[in-house]
Amino acid sequence: MNLTPELAEYHVKIRDIAREYGLDFFETIFEMLDFDQINEVAAYGGFPTRYPHWRHGMGFEQLDKGYRYGLQKIYELVINNDPCYAYLLSSNSVVENKLVIAHVYGHCDFFKNNMWFSKTDRKMMDRMANHSTRIRQLIDRHGQDPVEDLIDRAQSLENLIDLYGEFVDDKDPWLKPVVEDADAEDDRAVNLKVRSKTYMDGFMNPPEVLEARRKKIEGDAEENARLPGGPQRDLLSFILQHAPLEQWEWEVLNIIREEAIYFAPQRVTKIMNEGWASYWHRRIMVEHILDDSEVIDYADTMAGTLAEGPALNPYKIGLELFLDIEDRWNKGRFGLEYERCQDLHAREIWDTNAGLGREQIFLCRKIHNDVTFVDEYLTEEFCHRHKLFVYRFNPRTRRREIVTRDFATVKEQLIRQLANGGAPVIEAVDVNWKNRGELYLQHRHEHQDLRQDWALSTLRNLFALWKRPVHVETRLEGKPVRYSCDGEEEITQIIGDADAE
């Protein structure tokens, strides 16, 4: 820690206040850096030691130019580790840095307590440094170009991990013994039926419906037979296990995957994490720390971070959601009775003095991720009060336009945007397609097409690892298509007619 005496004093004060509020965090170490240093650290994703790669250099250039031209600066940078490390920008004003310290403690509490972070490596700082050393060794041995090319490829597949995969118990279905159960067949037949009284059976379970169900189950079984354990979402892990890689290639790929997995919880809790931290810095600053003379600067900074953009600002929406939940649970605006109340006026003044707000938000920060959080707590009132809307690109006017403010549509769109960290769900369904050792991927298409040129380029990268032809099945403009790459060229094939999804 190299804080100025003034900040060091505030730091202790803020930390103690945070503890009193019930925040629970790892020890947090603050470092004061100048903009050049903070940009460097930020370019490495918050870690002082990362493996060498040009993408970090690119990130640095953007941060650097953004700062020099006065467009943006980094306020805060905190990494999930035990102890937590956080960086402060030395040129920020004291008010800003106090705010950041309070904000950081919000993040640290979230890192430690949110269940989606529970499986992350808390010694990631060390592990990243080890990765860096290892990659440097491999570069020395095999040359910069091959290693870098491989990293490029791996990064192009980096989003093909199972974001929630750390919570699946048996990660490797190949190691799971296949139990042949003689009675399984009979069980299945019974399960087809809806339970009913005997005399109703003919109506509840008409033979043609049973037949359809049986076919579906068989179809599923056939699908699953292609891969034991069913489709695989963690493609990087899948490639690690099954692609013909050399030892060093395996190591590099594994490093990229481990780091991607480490960052995964941050991708799925952006709104919550920022909302939670903003909630706490607001409370701590306003109720305890802020000096009269600092109010304007504080308000100015707040206004900056919480600005309503045309796109949704995670800081803003997250903070507002937490405030809304706290308010509703304090006033008892939840549960069946409230939900069923049709009287607008009664809802307006509803207050049972339940006082459960604080408890409820701590519960949220413990168990939710962005998707479940929005699903559970984004109410119609909230949607209208905060003027949420859905926009769409209008090709005629060549600009994005507001389409609707309808609550159901907004919520559906928001959840869709957040699901799987905003990335398409792509699974491996067959490793031996057409009995030719070709890898077959399936995109679970929901509403949105894949970007075609990129999909094809990505396949090329995948081919380089798999070393046999690779395919991905998806939809393009309503038609089922298959993109393939056999190492020579990428092709797009339409494999069916347009039909409703």
Residues 305-324 that bind other proteins (CB under 8 A): 305-317
Tokens describing residue 336: 């069946």
CA distances from 208 to 197, 199, 220 (A): 19, 18, 18
The CB density around residue 263, as the number of other CB atoms within 10 Å, is 17
Pick from 17, 33, 79, 272: which binds other proteins (CB under 8 A)? Answer: 79
- Least gap, CB of 386 to other proteins (angstroms): 6
- Least gap, CB of 296 to other proteins (angstroms): 18
Residue 119 CA to residue 438 CA, distance in Å, equals 33
Q: Looking at 76-84, 188-196, 197-205, 357-365, which segment touches other proteins (CB under 8 A)? A: 76-84
- Least gap, CB of 484 to other proteins (angstroms): 14
Residue 302 CA to residue 307 CA, distance in Å, equals 8
* 78 is a contact residue toward other proteins (CB under 8 A): yes
Q: φ, ψ for residue 76 (rounded to 5)? A: -145, 150
* Residue whose structure tokens are 């305890």: 288
Q: Within 265-294, which residues bind other proteins (CB under 8 A)?
A: 266-267, 270, 273-274
Tokens describing residue 123: 């010694």
Going by their DSSP bridges, the two strands 438-443 and 84-89 should be labelled as: unpaired
Complex with other proteins: residue 178 or 311, whichever CB lies closer: 311
Complex with other proteins: residue 187 or 412, whichever CB lies closer: 412
* 491 is a contact residue toward other proteins (CB under 8 A): no
- Least gap, CB of 378 to other proteins (angstroms): 10
Pick from 402, 408, 491, 498: which binds other proteins (CB under 8 A)? Answer: 402
- Least gap, CB of 269 to other proteins (angstroms): 10
* 392 is a contact residue toward other proteins (CB under 8 A): yes
Q: Within 81-110, which residues bind other proteins (CB under 8 A)?
A: 107
Q: Of 460, 120, 80, nearest to 258 (Cα)?
A: 120
Pick from 94, 217, 403, 419: which binds other proteins (CB under 8 A)? Answer: 403
Q: Looking at 213-221, 322-330, 343-351, 406-414, which segment touches other proteins (CB under 8 A)? A: 406-414
- Least gap, CB of 64 to other proteins (angstroms): 9
3-state secondary structure 181-229: CCCHHHHHHHHHCCCCCHHHHHHHCCHHHHHHHHHHHHHHHHHHHHCCC
Q: Using CA atoms in the order 209, 211, 216, 219, what is the torsion angle rounded to 10 degrees?
A: -170
Question: How many residues are given for the chain?
Answer: 501
Q: Looking at 19-27, 201-209, 263-271, 427-435, which segment touches other proteins (CB under 8 A)? A: 263-271
Complex with other proteins: residue 13 or 73, whichever CB lies closer: 73
Please, which residues bridge with residue 480 across strands? 475
Q: Please answer whether residues 428 and 170 qualify as being in contact, where contact means their C-beta atoms are separated by less than 8 angstroms.
A: no
Sequence-separated (6 or more) residues with CB below 8 Å from residue 341: 347, 350
Pick from 393, 396, 436, 501: which binds other proteins (CB under 8 A)? Answer: 393
- Least gap, CB of 337 to other proteins (angstroms): 30
Give the count of alpha carbons within 13 A of 440, CB side only: 17
Q: Looking at 170-178, 247-255, 324-332, 400-408, which segment touches other proteins (CB under 8 A)? A: 400-408
Pick from 164, 391, 407, 433: which binds other proteins (CB under 8 A)? Answer: 391
Q: Looking at 198-206, 334-342, 354-362, 384-392, which segment touches other proteins (CB under 8 A)? A: 384-392
Total of residues contacting other proteins (CB under 8 A): 99
Q: Of 404, 394, 190, 414, nearest to 317 (Cα)?
A: 414
Pick from 13, 56, 188, 226: which binds other proteins (CB under 8 A)? Answer: 56
Q: Within 159-178, which residues bind other proteins (CB under 8 A)?
A: 159-160
Residue 252 CA to residue 135 CA, distance in Å, equals 7
CA distances from 370 to 115, 314, 324, 373 (A): 12, 10, 16, 5
Q: Please answer whether residues 116 and 162 qualify as being in contact, where contact means their C-beta atoms are separated by less than 8 angstroms.
A: no
If phi > 0 it is left, if psi is from -120 to 50 it is alpha, else beta; for residue 315 that is alpha
CA distances from 368 to 79, 362, 379, 403 (A): 20, 10, 16, 29
- Least gap, CB of 367 to other proteins (angstroms): 21
Helix (H, G, I), strand (E, B) or coil at 180: coil
Q: φ, ψ for residue 397 (rounded to 5)? A: -90, -5
Complex with other proteins: residue 66 or 231, whichever CB lies closer: 66
Quick note: the x/- pattern for other proteins over 412-451, rule CB under 8 A, is: -xx--x----xxx-x----------------x----xxxx
Q: Looking at 20-28, 68-76, 188-196, 217-225, which segment touches other proteins (CB under 8 A)? A: 68-76
- Least gap, CB of 205 to other proteins (angstroms): 41
Complex with other proteins: residue 192 or 390, whichever CB lies closer: 390
Pick from 2, 19, 34, 57: which binds other proteins (CB under 8 A)? Answer: 57
Q: φ, ψ for residue 160 (rounded to 5)? A: -95, 55
Pick from 44, 238, 329, 466: which binds other proteins (CB under 8 A)? Answer: 44
CA distances from 2 to 39, 61, 86, 228, 356 (A): 18, 26, 12, 54, 40
* 379 is a contact residue toward other proteins (CB under 8 A): no
Q: Within 346-365, which residues bind other proteins (CB under 8 A)?
A: none
Q: Looking at 188-196, 304-312, 343-351, 431-439, which segment touches other proteins (CB under 8 A)? A: 304-312
